[in-house]
Structures are given as C-alpha cells and as structure tokens.
C-alpha cells in the first residue's frame, strides 16, 4: 500500500554529527573523514540499490566524488555548531519496481533540488521489513551553500523557507500520483495533514527498514517508538469509535471492499492483536452497510454517514426541484434571444431546448453537455433573461480556471465553491430567493461539497442550475453526485458539438463523449493527425517540430501542448523554449526563483499562473505572454487582453506556459492543440485532451509506451468513473462473518412534476455501459412545451469500481476466527438489527432538512487550519 512520507531535517555539528559519516552510512560505502582523521566504513550495510551525487549546472566535477564533496563541505564550515547539510527523506510506493522507484526519485531530486542549485547526494534504499514487505525510500543529503566553478559560496537562506518545504511536500505527492497513474497503479497518496483532510486520526511517522532491524536487535530505532505509539493510539481511537476510521476511509471513495478495510487497519494498528480488533470493529460497526457486488464480483460496503450525505443531497435536490418561484416571462426570454442574434449568436435546437429548460420555474435545473457544445454561450443568454426579470446570477466552479472560463464565456460573475463556502460560513455573500446560482463543471464536485451547496440554496430559496459532463474528469472527493442527480431529475442534453470547425471533428468529439474512443481515434488517424514514433523521446521531438511549423504558419492562432504528467510538461516547455531561443524569438534569459524551483524567463515567453490571486486577477491555469522580464518583476499580457505586473517577491506561483496537464485545461477552448499520449491517460482525460481545439489537434505517442494503435485505443478508452452508495439497490447476501444491513435507494413518494422521464438515448447508453446495467425504460411522456430532453431515473443494479476483494492473510484469519466464534450465518437478533438500521435510515430521511446554520457550524469546525511545521510528518495515505 502506497503511503505518504516526506520529512526534512538539518544536519549539524551541534548534535555531534559528521557529514562524511552520514554520507558513508546512507551510501553503504567507506569514506575517509579528513576532519576527524578516520575512516567510516558501512560497506556491510544492505539494501542500497542506487547511490549517486547529482551536481547543478556550473558545479566543479570534482564534487561528484562523495568523499571529496563532504570533506569540502566540512572544511567550509568553521563553527562548532555549524549546519552543514539538509537531509530529505521520502517513501517510494512499494507497488513500483526498483527501476521505476529509482527513476521516480532521480527525476524529483533533479527538478526540485539540483534545479535550485543544490548538490544532492541521493541514495535509494529497498529494505525488506520484518513482515516481509518492501519498504522502499530515499535519503537525499543536500548542500546549503551556493556552488560555482571555484567551489562553495555563501549560504542560501531562501532554501530554509517553510513555504518551500511545503511546496516540496505537495510536489512530491503530485509527482508520485502522476507516475502511479501513468503506470496504471490505482493507489494514490495525499500530502495534506489529517487535520486538513478533516480526519481525526494522528499522522504516523515512518519506520525505515534499518530502524526495524535495530529495534529487533533491542537497539533504539529512530522514530520507531513514536511511530508505534501513534499507530497504537490511532488503533485505540478506532476501536473506541470505529466511525473515525470509516469517515477517513470514505473521504475520497463512497464505497469500499473488505480488502480496503484490511489495508487501512494494517496502517493504523500496532501488532496482530490490535489489527484484528481494529478490522473487526470497523467491519462490524453498526454504521457499515452492505451494498452488494460490483461488476468485478467484489462485495462493496458504505457507511450510514456516506449514505446519509447522499440521501440529504437527493432530498435537498428534490426540495429545490419542487420550488416554482423563478419564472421568466416570454417577453424577457424573447429579448435575450433577440439580443444574442443581433450579436451574431445563433442558438442551435438543443441549445434553445436547454435554454427553455433552465429558465422554467423549478428551482433545480441540470444540463448535460458535451465538450464544446456551447453550454457557456447558452448560459450567457439565460443570464440576460434572468437579469431582465430582476434576478441576481452568480457562478461557481470547483477550480479557479473553470470559474474564470464560465465568467468569460457567459458573463456570469463567478467564484470557486471554496470561496463561496468560506463566505457562507462567516455569514457573508449568502444566497437569497432572488439569486440564481450556476454551477459549472458539476461532474468534478464531490458528494459532500455539492450537498452543502444545495443545502445553502434550499435554505435560502435560491435556484440552482448545474452544468457538466459525467464523462469528463471525475470528482476528486467521494461520489458522482451530478451524474446521480441527472439520472433522478432529468437533464437537458446538448449533444450538438459546436467548438470544432469541421463536422467530422465534431462527430469525433461526440464519439469520445459516448465512449466510442476507437472510432474517434480512427477518424483522427485517417486525417493524418495521429503520429507514432519509436520512443516517447522521438515522439516528443516530432511534436515540437510540428508545433513550431504550425506556429510559424499561423502565428495569430492560439495553441497549447497537452500531456498527462507534470514531468512531461516541464520537458515539453524546455524543448519549446529551446526552439524559440534558436530562432531568436526570446529575449535574454533571467533566472527567477519560483515556487516550483529555478526557472529562466525572457521577454516574449509564455507564462502559466499556478495559484488564484484576486489582487492580480489570475487563476490557477491562467495563461499569458511576458512583455518585459526583470529579476523581481514580470510585465505580462494575459490572453484575455489585460496587462498586469507581477511582483515576484509576493507572488512566484508561475511556470512556463507552452505546455500544460490535461487537468489544467478542462473548460478551455484553444484553436490548435498538440497532445503527447502517455500510459496515464484514460477515457476521461483523453476526451478532455482531444476536445479542446477549434481547428486542429495532433496526437503523438511512442511505441515504447504503446506497442501499436490497438494498445493506444485500449488505454485511451479505459473508463474509471466514481460510484455512489445509491448506485447499489439489490439486497446483498449475508457476510461470511455476520449479516450486514443492506442499503436500498429510496424512491420519492410523490414524483409530482419532477417525476423521472425517459432517458435520452446517448446518456442512457453511457450509464448502461459504465455501470453494467440493463437499460430500464419508463413510459415516455408525450412531448409538451414544459418537457425538455431529460434523463430518466434508474436504480443501479451493479457497481463499477474495479475493486479487488481478496483479503490479506491477517484479514482472512480474523474473518475465520470470527466465523468460528459466531457459528451461524444469520439469527433473529442480527435480522432485528438490520431492520433497526433500515428504520434509522428511514427516520433520517424524514428528519427536518439540514439548515444553513447547521452547515455553517460544520464548516467552521472543519476549516480549522493546521499549523505548519517542518518537524512533523503531515502525510497520510489515501
């Protein structure tokens, strides 16, 4: 199981340490210490699989010798309490091979440390713990002074900044997750503290394999006692209140398997006995509900808390849908449409149907639209009609760039959902009955967050319009709330793609949107827009050649290079800048220290902003061109035409803007795109990547990643959507150890005017394919003026997580012991408990609706900011 561990500490003489001895131990080598006049020999140490000294540009080659390096460092430091090095230690996912782990560590060290000017002594250890499991990790000793051709200079105080350490921690998690996704490994890590994730457990330190061996010999092991104490305390906390562990487990997944429970219990316990008790307490807690088996045969579970959040979401949505206080007159609608036509905007038939749908009286309206279908343009006309009637229209999206694109495309003043919630929790910018809240990219919003938004709107009597595409990038947090609500309440569907100029490209986008990835790729291949190369490096070079040729042929067109990982983005940015420098199109490079490390910027460089900043008017993902570069200031012309001045002393969250990850660009529209395919792409990200363009897109790949086009199609067609507890409505068989209450999705007692309608053909096919359901059709209503193209409600009959239900040996032993103890598969007491739990959930459904006041109290408690510290590991496994 991949865990997050990233720690940093200062090494100095004040604690009696020697730089040479430390380097010898970490590299398992024999080094002579000139200051102490002795040798340090650790050649008998096992487990070191890679050892390397990495030098920044301009450093003398003699420092590549480890003995020379650290003796020179020791000679440079004169004080008795001198600090001579910084050590960074991080865990490598054990799911990777040794070669993959070494490459992962080398790339990160080169980018984050050597790129900033540090000399890095990297040692990768692949120890085996007492439990027989690999414990791969890396030790990096870093110099603390500038280094040039003549050796070491003054110390760089900026390298001690807490903000820089926090950036390293975050970048390591991003780097690891990018590589895990690229390798097709399902696990992820999270750099945030438990507190920041809303988790009540205490983060645990890591015990290295060497520490475990020393502890086994009766010697003191660094951090081992603290680690086990924390694990033991966490295990005790879970045993005392298993809901703590279950809430942590369902933070990013709505359902789970027994194997998920066993892995979690292993991490948060100390010893076999406590592991058994933790697993038993969580698995058999009264809040655990059995849901049935997913499409891969694994039995899935959820918690009453997760199911309750989904049911409250459904109930608030139903309340909104029953409201009838947001009407727009025919005259206001007609004037808005006429004004749009006067500007040259001609709405298509599906756009007009969606416009009619969102302007009707109900307080909830959903629009499912393909990429480039003109959703923002339709919302712009709707905004004019709402404002003419006297409503205030407000926009919201999960990310800053999505909010910016919504505002730019529709004229709706927009903010991030986090910003809105921050204000609501402090009784500011509250919704009113005269508000219309438009939520864009709703498919990326998790269940709990969307439920809070709907609770605020329902309490205020505001109207909510949600727009999204269930096939694009999935929610980060648990659940697929937008898809569930579209199934239950119906949605206007805009399938007429308008972004691409050529009809065959629009048809290809429709194919991507409906899962026919092979047909879409075949169309681009036939048009000469899919290019294979022997290796990824050759494919990258060919992409830059084509990008450069098209740039010179059509300099006025907007363009961007897209790929999956941040590492590839950096390599593509570097290659693009090298090409422009060779042609004399960039000014003189200036070395600028950014939050991502040392970067060189010049006049005419493309720049990407990486953090929302209201004072500058930029979002995470905003692009621009540098008009004048200075050491502490950049004059930038943003792509929307605005000019800003960036003070690098207060805002350094920038990078080159020739290439970007696919996740940065959902919602963007660009004239031309160039895509480098890597194994981390799937059906969701490839759909986004290959639908951003207006006029052309070109896909490049290497045969070392994809043996042939069939392998490319298989990877780019992978569907990895998230599920909901309410997707499962079939009674589950009893657990081998005890029967579990079974969750049943509740149908509304009185459908009324929002009764589920017949599913549109396209979305019905998508739902059937993704969830493995048989298509069920309700009788179609006769078309009327008040009936839009809508999605019918279906109860889910199968799951869609590729979960594995094989329990590790300890979980199986615990299960067998429990079975032997109980000696039964079902009895009246357990049946009564199951009935009681179902009755409890029914009572929860009938309880008064959640009030905004209660929501604000919960938010205020959850928003407690953790204190940053370099001495504590704030990591947690996902």
Of 633, 650, 644, 637, nearest to 592 by C-alpha is 633
Tell me if residue 631 falls in helix, strand or coil: coil
94 occurs within a structural domain: yes
Residue finishing a domain among 656, 691, 717:
717
Range of the domain at 553: 516-717
452 occurs within a structural domain: yes
Residue finishing a domain among 250, 269, 302:
302
Domain shared by 613 and 484, yes or no: no
Domain shared by 551 and 602, yes or no: yes
Domain shared by 596 and 658, yes or no: yes
Other Cβ atoms closer than 10 A to 43? 9
Walking along the chain (878 residues) 10 residues at a time, the average pLDDT comes out as 81 81 93 90 89 94 94 88 90 89 94 93 85 82 92 89 84 88 76 54 50 51 63 80 82 84 84 86 86 82 86 90 88 89 83 89 87 80 92 88 82 88 85 92 86 91 87 67 85 78 86 83 90 93 93 88 89 93 90 84 92 81 90 89 88 90 76 91 82 89 89 82 75 37 35 35 44 37 34 35 40 44 36 45 43 44 35 28
Residue found by looking up tokens 């480039």 in the block = 372
Domain shared by 53 and 157, yes or no: yes
862 occurs within a structural domain: no
Domain count, the chain: 4
797 occurs within a structural domain: no
Domain shared by 279 and 341, yes or no: no
In DSSP notation, 400-460 reads HHHHHHHHHHH---EEEHHHHHHHHHTT-S---TTEEEEE-SGGGS-HHHHHHHHHHHHHH
Domain shared by 561 and 575, yes or no: yes
Rg (CA), the chain: 29
Domain shared by 248 and 313, yes or no: no
Other Cβ atoms closer than 10 A to 766? 23
Of 518, 509, 475, nearest to 692 by C-alpha is 509
Domain shared by 333 and 462, yes or no: yes
Residue finishing a domain among 172, 191, 210:
191
Other Cβ atoms closer than 10 A to 852? 20
868 occurs within a structural domain: no
Domain shared by 545 and 671, yes or no: yes
846 occurs within a structural domain: no
Domain shared by 180 and 106, yes or no: yes
Domain shared by 486 and 468, yes or no: yes
What span, in angstroms and rounded, lies between the C-alpha atoms of 588 and 602? Answer: 6
Domain shared by 616 and 653, yes or no: yes
pLDDT at 787: 33
In DSSP notation, 501-525 reads SSHHHHHHHHHHHTT-HHHHHHHHH
pLDDT at 700: 94
Q: Please, which residues have CB within 8 angstroms of residue 292's CB and are 6 or more apart in sequence?
A: 299, 300, 728, 730, 731, 732, 742, 798, 799
What span, in angstroms and rounded, lies between the C-alpha atoms of 851 and 218? Answer: 57
347 occurs within a structural domain: yes
Global pTM value: 0.54
Burial class (CB in 10 A: 0-12, 13-18, 19+), 768: middle
Q: What is the CATH number of the domain that holds 284?
A: 1.10.10
Q: Are 740 and 732 in contact (CB under 8 A)?
A: yes
Q: What does the chain come to in residues? A: 878
Sheet holding 659-661, edge to edge: 530-533, 693-702, 670-676, 559-563, 659-661
392 occurs within a structural domain: yes
pLDDT at 658: 93
Q: Are 223 and 206 in contact (CB under 8 A)?
A: yes
Of 134, 120, 163, 98, nearest to 3 by C-alpha is 134
Q: What is the CATH number of the domain that holds 606?
A: 3.40.50
What span, in angstroms and rounded, lies between the C-alpha atoms of 769 and 718? Answer: 12
Of 432, 416, 397, 424, nearest to 860 by C-alpha is 424
pLDDT at 131: 56
């Amino acid at each position: 199981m991949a865990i997050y561990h990233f720690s940093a500490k200062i090494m100095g003489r004040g604690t009696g340490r020697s730089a040479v001895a430390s380097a010898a131990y970490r590299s398992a080598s024999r080094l002579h210490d000139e200051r102490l006049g002795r040798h340090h020999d650790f050649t008998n140490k096992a487990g070191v699989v890679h050892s390397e000294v990495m030098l920044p540009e301009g450093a003398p080659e003699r420092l590549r010798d480890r003995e020379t390096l650290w003796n020179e460092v020791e000679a440079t430091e004169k004080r008795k309490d001198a600090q001579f090095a910084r050590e960074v230690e991080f865990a490598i996912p054990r799911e990777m091979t040794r070669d993959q782990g070494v490459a992962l560590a080398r790339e990160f060290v080169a980018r984050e440390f050597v790129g900033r000017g540090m000399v890095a002594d990297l040692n990768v250890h692949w120890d085996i713990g007492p439990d027989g499991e690999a414990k791969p990790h890396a030790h990096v000793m870093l110099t603390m002074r500038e280094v040039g051709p003549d050796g070491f200079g003054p110390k760089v105080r900026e390298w001690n900044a807490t903000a820089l350490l926090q950036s390293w921690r975050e970048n390591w998690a991003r780097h690891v997750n990018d590589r895990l996704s690229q390798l097709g490994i399902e696990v992820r890590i999270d750099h945030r503290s438990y507190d920041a994730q809303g988790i009540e457990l205490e983060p645990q330190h890591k015990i290295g394999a060497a520490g475990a061996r020393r502890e086994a010999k009766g010697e003191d092991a660094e951090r081992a006692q603290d680690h086990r104490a924390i694990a033991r305390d966490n295990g005790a906390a879970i045993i005392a209140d298993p809901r703590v562990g279950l809430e942590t487990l369902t933070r990013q997944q709505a359902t789970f398997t027994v194997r998920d429970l066993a892995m979690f219990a292993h991490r948060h316990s100390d010893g076999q006995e406590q592991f058994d008790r933790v697993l038993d307490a969580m698995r058999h807690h009264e809040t655990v509900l059995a849901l049935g088996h997913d499409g891969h045969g694994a039995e899935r579970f959820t918690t009453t808390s997760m199911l309750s959040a989904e049911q409250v979401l459904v109930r608030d949505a139903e309340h909104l849908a029953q409201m009838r206080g947001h009407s727009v007159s025919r005259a206001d609608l007609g004037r808005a449409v006429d004004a749009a036509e006067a500007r040259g905007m001609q709405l298509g038939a599906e756009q007009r149907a969606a416009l009619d749908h969102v302007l009707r009286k109900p307080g909830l309206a959903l629009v499912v639209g393909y990429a480039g279908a003109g959703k923002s343009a339709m919302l712009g006309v709707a905004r004019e009609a709402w404002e003419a009637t006297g409503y205030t229209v407000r926009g919201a999206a999960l990310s800053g760039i999505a909010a910016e694109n919504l505002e730019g495309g529709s004229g709706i003043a927009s903010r991030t959902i986090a910003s809105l919630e921050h204000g609501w929790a402090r009784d500011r910018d509250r919704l009113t009955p005269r508000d219309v809240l438009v939520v864009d990219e709703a498919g990326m919003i998790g269940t709990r967050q969307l439920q809070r938004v709907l609770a605020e709107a329902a309490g205020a009597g505001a109207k909510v319009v949600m727009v999204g595409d269930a096939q694009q990038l999935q929610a980060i947090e648990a659940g697929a709330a937008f898809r569930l609500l579209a199934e239950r309440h119906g949605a206007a569907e805009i399938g007429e793609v308008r972004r691409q100029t050529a009809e065959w490209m629009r048809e290809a986008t429709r194919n991507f949107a409906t899962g026919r990835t092979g047909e879409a790729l075949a169309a681009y291949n036939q048009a000469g827009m899919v290019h294979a190369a022997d290796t990824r490096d050759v494919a990258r070079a060919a992409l830059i050649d084509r990008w450069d040729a098209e740039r010179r042929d059509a300099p006025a067109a907007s363009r961007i290079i897209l790929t999956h990982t941040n590492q590839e983005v950096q390599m593509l940015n570097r290659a693009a800048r090298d090409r422009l420098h060779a042609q004399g199109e960039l000014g003189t490079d200036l070395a600028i220290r950014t939050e991502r490390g040392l970067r060189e910027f010049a006049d005419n460089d493309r720049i990407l902003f990486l953090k929302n900043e209201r004072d500058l008017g930029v979002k995470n993902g905003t692009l621009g061109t540098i008009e004048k570069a200075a050491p502490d200031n950049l004059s930038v012309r943003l792509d929307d035409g605005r000019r800003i001045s960036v003070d690098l002393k207060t805002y350094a969250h920038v990078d080159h803007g020739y290439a970007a990850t696919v996740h940065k660009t959902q919602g963007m529209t660009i004239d031309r795109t160039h895509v480098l395919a890597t194994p981390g792409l799937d059906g969701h990200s490839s759909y986004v990547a290959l639908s951003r363009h207006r006029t052309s897109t070109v896909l490049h790949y290497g045969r070392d990643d994809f043996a042939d086009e069939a392998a490319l199609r298989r990877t780019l067609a992978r569907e990895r959507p998230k599920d909901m507890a309410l997707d499962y409505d079939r009674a589950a068989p009893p657990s081998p150890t005890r029967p579990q209450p079974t969750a049943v999705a509740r149908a509304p007692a009185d459908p009324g005017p929002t009764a589920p309608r017949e599913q549109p053909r396209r979305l019905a096919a998508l739902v059937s394919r993704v969830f493995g359901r048989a298509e069920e059709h309700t009788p179609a209503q006769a078309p009327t003026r008040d009936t839009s193209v809508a999605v019918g409600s279906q109860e889910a009959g199968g799951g869609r997580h590729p979960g594995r239900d094989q329990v590790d040996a300890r979980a199986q032993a615990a299960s067998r012991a429990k079975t032997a103890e109980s000696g039964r598969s079902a009895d009246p007491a357990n049946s009564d408990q199951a009935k009681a739990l179902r009755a409890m959930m029914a009572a929860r459904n009938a309880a008064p609706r959640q009030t905004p006041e209660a929501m604000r109290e919960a938010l205020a408690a959850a928003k407690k900011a953790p204190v940053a510290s370099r001495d504590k590991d704030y990591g947690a496994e996902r």
